């Protein structure tokens, strides 16, 4: 997801604004060559777009963004968590630039945590916990 977050958010935005059954389902697919499972591709979009992109030599696993979103909302209700409606902000909506800036800031903090953990592991000790920033 770290590499494909932008496409995933685009799919999520589309799924929220163009719900089933009136619109085509959106998928996040991981496709790989059957004889080389470590060589894979991530393809996003509608089923026919993914099939055209990977061809018949790839095996693909499809994750429906519509189903994922429905289950996320179900789980949130069960846990008494209120999610915003819609969950994702579209590029033409107010707050989009701020939302993306928050995501980039989070990614930078997560990258710093991962680097600190890797350095500590290389030195053979436990990493210090980074304090959250506001």
Residues 95 and 129 occupy one common structural domain: yes
Q: What is the pLDDT of residue 49?
A: 92
Look at residue 31 and tell me whether its pLDDT is greater than 80: yes
pLDDT digits (tens, 9 = 90+) for 41-60: 899 999 999 989 887 777 88
Residues 82 and 96 occupy one common structural domain: no
| Residues in CB range of 128: below 8 A, 6 or more apart | 116, 120
Residues 17 and 57 occupy one common structural domain: yes
Mean pLDDT of 5-30: 90
Residues 65 and 25 occupy one common structural domain: yes
Look at residue 18 and tell me whether its pLDDT is greater than 60: yes
Residues 71 and 93 occupy one common structural domain: no
What's the domain range around 6?
A: 1-88
Three-state SS annotation for the chain: CCCCHHHHHHHHHHHHHCCCCCCCCCEEEEEEECCEEEEEEEEEECHHHHHHHHCCCEEEEEEEHHHHHHHHHHHHHHCCCCCCCCCCCCCCCCCHHHHHHHHHHHHHHHHHHHHHHHHHHHCCCCCCCCCCCC
State the total domains in the chain: 2
Look at residue 127 and tell me whether its pLDDT is greater than 60: no
Check: pTM over 0.85? Answer yes or no: no
Residues 13 and 58 occupy one common structural domain: yes
Q: If pLDDT is split at 50, 70 and 90, which confidence band does 129 have?
A: low
Residues 47 and 77 occupy one common structural domain: yes
Residues 13 and 63 occupy one common structural domain: yes
């Amino acid at each position: 997801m770290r590499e494909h977050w932008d496409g995933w958010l685009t799919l999520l935005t589309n799924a929220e604004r163009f719900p089933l059954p009136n619109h085509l389902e959106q998928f996040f697919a991981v496709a790989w060559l059957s004889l080389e499972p470590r060589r894979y591709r991530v393809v996003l979009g509608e089923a026919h777009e993914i099939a055209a992109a990977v061809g018949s030599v790839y095996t693909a696993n499809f994750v429906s963004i519509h189903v994922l979103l429905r289950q996320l909302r179900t789980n949130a209700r069960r846990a008494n968590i209120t999610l915003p409606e819609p969950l994702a902000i579209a590029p033409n909506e107010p707050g989009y630039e701020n939302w993306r800036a928050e995501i980039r800031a989070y990614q930078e903090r997560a990258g710093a945590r991962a680097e600190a953990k890797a350095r500590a592991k290389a030195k053979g000790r436990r990493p210090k916990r980074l304090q959250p920033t506001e």
